Amino acid sequence: MRTIGNFLLLSAVAGVFLTFLPAISAEVSYRYDVWRGQTFYVAGDSPSPSAGQGTNLLVTGPAPLAITPLDTQFGIVVPKIAANARVIANVDPGNQGVYTEALRKGVAHAAGTVYPGQVGNSYLFAHSVGNFWEVNRWNAVFYLLRELNPGDEVDLFYQGRRYIYLVYDKKVVEPNETRYLSAQANFTMLTLQTCWPPGTTLKRLLVFARLKTT
């Protein structure tokens, strides 16, 4: 009986570890990149002149790495956190079966919101209200959204064109605060949604950005 009990305990511990592995991996990788000064940029751009300046002053940072978007027909790249994903268009955020399937493939674009480059609010989410292990499995691409600050870049690709957005605000909201999903805007706006705290379904973290003007 003791052997069986130990086996069940180890299995439970292993299950929890594997469940949170995507979050742990993303966090450790990001902290290590910050420490050593690893930066990222969208392929075709020139690296930032401040690239390679990590928090470890004794180490010269590695060369910046280019990120090639996974899908230029509809995709997202967030250089600061090295996020790169396909975007699944026109996903019903009120239908768990539909958006869960979409999140298996990438980030979901909320049905009824505008597309990149259009005036109004384009709403993208990587969030599930299912079991906690599903939350951790499908939401890894947006785990680090909390690291974004005003001025940080978010790149959307749509129908072969690139749209550069700059973050201007972020906030934590309750799950029932859905007004942001239907928010109207008279400018070209982007809202990114993920879970908060990371790996839970307790609240939502929203990041707001607007189209960069030349």
Q: What is the pLDDT of residue 15?
A: 42
Q: What is the pLDDT of residue 143?
A: 85
Over residues 64-93, mean pLDDT: 96
Which region, left, alpha or beta, applies to residue 61 given φ > 0 means left and ψ of -120 to 50 means alpha?
beta
Q: What pLDDT digit, counting tens, does each position of 22-44 carry?
A: 566 777 878 888 898 999 999 98
In a domain, 14, yes or no: no
| pLDDT bucket at 125, cuts 50 / 70 / 90 | very high
Q: What is the pLDDT of residue 91?
A: 96
Q: 211, 165 in Cβ contact below 8 A?
A: yes
Cα 24 to Cα 17: distance, rounded to the nearest angstrom:
9
In a domain, 53, yes or no: no
Q: In this model, does residue 12 exceed pLDDT 80? A: no
Q: What is the pLDDT of residue 132?
A: 46
Residue-wise burial string across 63-91, b where 16 or more C-beta atoms lie within 10 A, e elsewhere? ebeebebebeebbbbbbbbbbbbbbbeeb
Q: What is the pLDDT of residue 187?
A: 96
169 burial type by CB count under 10 A (0-12 exposed, 13-18 middle, 19+ buried): exposed
Cα–Cα nearest to 128, from 154, 144, 104? 104
Among 113-127, 150-164, 165-179, 187-201, the least confident range: 187-201
Domain residue limits at 159: 63-211
Q: In this model, does residue 61 exceed pLDDT 80? A: no
3-state secondary structure of 96: helix
3-state secondary structure of 123: strand
Q: How many structural domains are present in the chain?
A: 1
Q: What is the pLDDT of residue 96?
A: 86
More confident residue, 160 or 6: 160
Output the domain CATH number for residue 83: 2.40.260.10
Q: 129, 201 in Cβ contact below 8 A?
A: yes
Q: What is the pLDDT of residue 197?
A: 82
Cα dihedral 157, 162, 163, 165, rounded to 10, equals 80
Q: In this model, does residue 161 exceed pLDDT 70? A: yes
Percent of the residues in the chain that have a pLDDT greater than 90, as a whole number: 53
Q: In this model, does residue 214 exceed pLDDT 80? A: no
Place of tokens 């590695």: 62
Cα 91 to Cα 100: distance, rounded to the nearest angstrom:
10
Q: What is the pLDDT of residue 200?
A: 75
E strand spans, the chain? 40-42, 65-67, 74-78, 83-91, 107-110, 120-125, 153-158, 161-173, 188-196, 203-211
Cα 88 to Cα 98: distance, rounded to the nearest angstrom:
11
In a domain, 155, yes or no: yes
Over residues 77-96, mean pLDDT: 94
Q: What is the pLDDT of residue 11?
A: 46
In a domain, 107, yes or no: yes
Q: What is the pLDDT of residue 46?
A: 81
In a domain, 57, yes or no: no
Over residues 62-74, mean pLDDT: 95
Cα 191 to Cα 37: distance, rounded to the nearest angstrom:
28
Q: What is the pLDDT of residue 127?
A: 65
More confident residue, 182 or 156: 156
